[in-house]
Structure formats: C-alpha cells, structure tokens
Amino acid sequence: MLETKKLLQKSAAKADVILEILDARLPKASENPLVNRLCQNKTQVKILNKMDLADPKITAQWMDYFKKERNVRAIAINAADKSLAAAALEFATRDIQRNRARKLKLMVVGIPNTGKSTLLNTLAGKKIARTGNVPAITRHQQRTSLKNNIDIYDTPGILWPVIEPEQRAYALAVSGAISDTAVDYQDIVCFAANLLMKRYPELLMARYRFLDRLPGDETDLIEQIGAARGCLKSKGRVDYQKAAGVLIQDLRSGKIGRISFETPFDISSDEEENSVHPFV
C-alpha cells in the first residue's frame, strides 16, 4: 500500500487532470483524503459513478452539495455507459488549456471497486483492464491512449488504514469497497437492514413480498428472509449468516432498487451534532 501511495504521488505530479471515482451511493464515505493532497493545484473532478444503483433524488442533492465546494467539479455517471463515460471525459477536459504538441494526462484514482477500470475500458472501447465486483482487482498502474491525444492512467484502489466513523466502514463494506471480512458482518447487516427499514420501506416490502408488515427490527427482517428463502439449518432453524447474505447481495446489486447509503443532510447533521450515527 505504501508503495502504491508513493507511485500515485509521483504520477499525480505529472497529471493534468485527476479524476476521482466515487460511489454515487456514498459519495462522501467513498472519498479518500489522500486524493485532495494529490490534487494540489490540479483540476479535481469528482465522478459519482454507479448512479444507476443510487437513489436519483439523493444524487441530485449530492450534485448541489458538490457545486458549493471550492475547486471541485462533479458529474454523475454509469461508467459502463458509453455516452455517459464520454460525457465525463468531455466534462473533465473542457476547461483545460491544451498544448496540442503534448499529450493530455488524465489520472483515474479512488478507493477500491468504484469503477475506475470500467471507466477506462468504456472510454477505450475495449477491455483493457480487468474488472470485478470485489475490492483490489487492479494491482498496477496502467496507461492507455485515447483519441484526441489523451493518455489515461488507471490505478489500484487505495484505502487508508483506519476507517472512522464505524458507519462509514459499514457503508463501504455494503458497497463492496472493502471486503465483508474487514468489518464485523453482523454490524454490516444491521446497518443495511436499518437503512432499508428506515429510508426505503416501500422498496423493501416490494422486493420481499412475503413480508406482511414492516419488520420490527433487523433480526425480524433476517429471520423472515431466511424462512422464506429456505436459508435454514438443522431442525428448521434460520441460518442467519446465509439469510443476511441474501439481503446484502440484493442491496449491493441493486435488486432492491436504487438506494443511497448517505445524504448531504447526514454530513451536515454530523458536523453540527458531532454525531457518528447518520442512519439512526
């Protein structure tokens, strides 16, 4: 990780534009503090990727939020979509003073699993970089030449050693940016269940039609999913681990619907109250 960080710092110094790929479902929690340091005196473009999985109303709120941040420009996309990826490239480079004799260097950075390599592949129009829905797929920096005299650099996802507050770690785990084993799985499940029951009850009820009422708590929800989906152990007891896995996979993949894990309001109430519990 230290080596990667050093390499990123070296490359960033030579880059014209830094594209920070965030997860649109958790745009603050998926920011890496290191990126701000890499971006000194550079155009910093935040790309809220996976917008197809995020709640569109909340994404619009995030766009307003980032408009108010100084020296930052933000755009929401789905990196697998050709025209949206092209729009992001245009957005990122449009104010840059170009010296046509020299290639424009774009560097794609961000935490693991946010879609950096997917964006590179879509822009290149072919599969150059390996992608996958687990963290840390890309291990080395990779340069690709695009049209219009542009070089784009894909980089390995980077995280920092201690993720705080805990809610941030849970949101990152549900999104797939950190592995399920990095955080207590029970806590991740409680976070996901509470988010769905409090913020998206209609989507929850629509996905799990066997629920005849909104579950009273997370245990109730997992028990009902386990019973209905046959996640059972001996003597018909619910296998909580398996049932929880169903919920997490459904949420992560968008099967429950378009869901955001945090809102700009959570951030400001955190700052005001110094609270670390944005979802309760």
Contact set with ligand GTP (CB under 6 A): 49-50, 52-53, 78-80, 110, 112-118, 131-133, 135-138, 156-157
CB of 83 to ligand GTP, least distance (A): 13
Closest alpha carbon to 266 in 171, 174, 162, 182: 171
Cβ nearer to Mg ion, comparing 50 with 258: 50
SS3 (DSSP) at 172: helix
Cβ nearer to Mg ion, comparing 135 with 215: 135
CB of 134 to ligand GTP, least distance (A): 7
For 233-263, the DSSP string reads -GGG-B-HHHHHHHHHHHHHHTSS----S--
- Which part of the chain contacts Mg ion (CB under 5 A), choosing from 51-59, 92-100, 134-142, 164-172? 134-142
| Residue 144 interacting with Mg ion (CB under 5 A) | no
Cβ nearer to ligand GTP, comparing 32 with 263: 32
| Residue 138 interacting with Mg ion (CB under 5 A) | yes
Cβ nearer to ligand GTP, comparing 23 with 266: 23
SS3 (DSSP) at 101: coil
What residue is closest to ligand GTP based on CB? 157
Distance CA 280, CA 35 (A): 29
Read off φ and ψ for residue 143, nearest 5 degrees: -100, 140
Cβ atoms of 109 and 158 closer than 8 Å: yes
| Residue 49 interacting with Mg ion (CB under 5 A) | no
* Residue 278, binding choice from ligand GTP, Mg ion, none, Cβ under 5 to 8 Å by partner class: none
Task: Tell me, by CB under 5 A, how many residues bind Mg ion.
Answer: 4
Cβ nearer to ligand GTP, comparing 113 with 144: 113
CB of 205 to ligand GTP, least distance (A): 23
Distance CA 214, CA 241 (A): 21
Cβ nearer to ligand GTP, comparing 28 with 258: 258
> In angstroms, how far is the first alpha carbon of the chain from the final one?
34
Which secondary structure element, helix H or strand E, spans residue 167, and what is its range?
Answer: helix 166-175
CB of 138 to Mg ion, least distance (A): 3
- Which part of the chain contacts Mg ion (CB under 5 A), choosing from 13-21, 76-84, 94-102, 131-139? 131-139
Closest alpha carbon to 19 in 69, 85, 98, 65: 85
Closest alpha carbon to 196 in 245, 249, 260: 260
Token duo for residue 128: 């150059």
Check residue 195 and report its DSSP letter: H
- Which part of the chain contacts Mg ion (CB under 5 A), choosing from 49-57, 111-119, 256-264, 270-278? 111-119
Contacts to Mg ion by CB under 5 A: 116-117, 137-138
